[in-house]
Structure 1
């Protein structure tokens, strides 16, 4: 998982500190697999104030492959069509709890030959579409940042 300053995904963050309310662009990619056969799918992504993916205080960014409909700043930019998936969101803080933000994502790898790997989302809600149910591996990943 790599956070970027820009929508073109060319300028990665080289420091841990980020500005509150700034739009962040995140790439989640898998390396060492054939992009013609495998796609990365973002299942769920969320933020917590501590480095614990299961922490009881959290803000959902992506749920079941679609942006949180309660947060208009979250966008799923690319999902399930390549070895890299992209999303963006506005940096938030957990007031009174922590000045850190930890991002967590649950992802899986999908065989692209069997159809579309991710659902199409409409205004944050899932739309019913046929998609491949074949996935090879699922994992959770996390990164931490300090918000100013």
Structure 2
């Protein structure tokens, strides 16, 4: 039986024609990031979601993936006026205590979790959007440092090698909610 994980993939060219890489966003059912959701997924309200954004096709000894922003919208438009930020300025939204940043800027994979929500009572769809950048590990300034209030606290040298944008959706809230 073939199982197709629920994932979104973007193909990007590295600056100066140094090759191509892929950015993937994958949703998982478990904290070990071993069971990806498959096909279309019906989510439960308040269900914990595990998100991985990873880059493939780059040297993992040289680059790290950093999530700059991660947000949700009720429609398939990343610029929609209604949105909910899960991660901003590389740190969890201080107004959403369900967001837990697990790994950001330490390898080619960044991971976090959040609890499923809806925008309004009659809204059943959520679209996810993410802005990431590749960081050169040589400067050792890629990892994210968020204080207890989830605010970015350490000024970092800007070691952005390339940036990408990726979206996924819709995540559908199951009818039983």
TM class, shorter-chain normalised?
over 0.9
**Does residue 142 in structure 1 map to residue 167 in structure 2?**
yes
Q: Report how far residue 94 of structure 1 moved.
A: 1.3
Counterpart among 45, 49, 55 of residue 30 in structure 1? 55
TM-score, length-scaled by structure 2: 0.79
Partner residue in 2 for 1:106: 131
Q: Which stretches of structure 1, 4 residues or longer, exceed 4 Å deviation after superposition?
A: none
Counterpart among 66, 89, 93 of residue 114 in structure 2? 89
Partner residue in 1 for 2:90: 65
Secondary structure of the structure 2 residue equivalent to 1:113 = helix
Partner residue in 1 for 2:30: 6
Partner residue in 1 for 2:19: none
- Inter-partner Cα distance in structure 2 for 1:61 and 1:53: 13
Q: Report how far residue 16 of structure 1 moved.
A: 2.2
User: Which stretch of structure 1 is more off in the superposition, 110-119 or 80-89?
Assistant: 110-119
Q: Report how far residue 97 of structure 1 moved.
A: 5.3
Q: Report how far residue 137 of structure 1 moved.
A: 1.0
User: Which stretch of structure 1 is more off in the superposition, 97-106 or 72-81?
Assistant: 97-106
**Does residue 51 in structure 1 map to residue 41 in structure 2?**
no
- Inter-partner Cα distance in structure 1 for 2:73 and 2:79: 9
Partner residue in 2 for 1:128: 154
Q: Report how far residue 75 of structure 1 moved.
A: 1.0
Partner residue in 1 for 2:4: none
**Does residue 118 in structure 1 map to residue 150 in structure 2?**
no
How many residues are aligned here? 147
> Which structure 1 residue ranges, 5 or more long, are not aligned?
none
Which is higher, the Rg of structure 1 or of structure 2?
A: 2
Q: Is the 8 A contact 1:19 1:91 kept in 2?
A: yes
Q: Report how far residue 47 of structure 1 moved.
A: 0.6
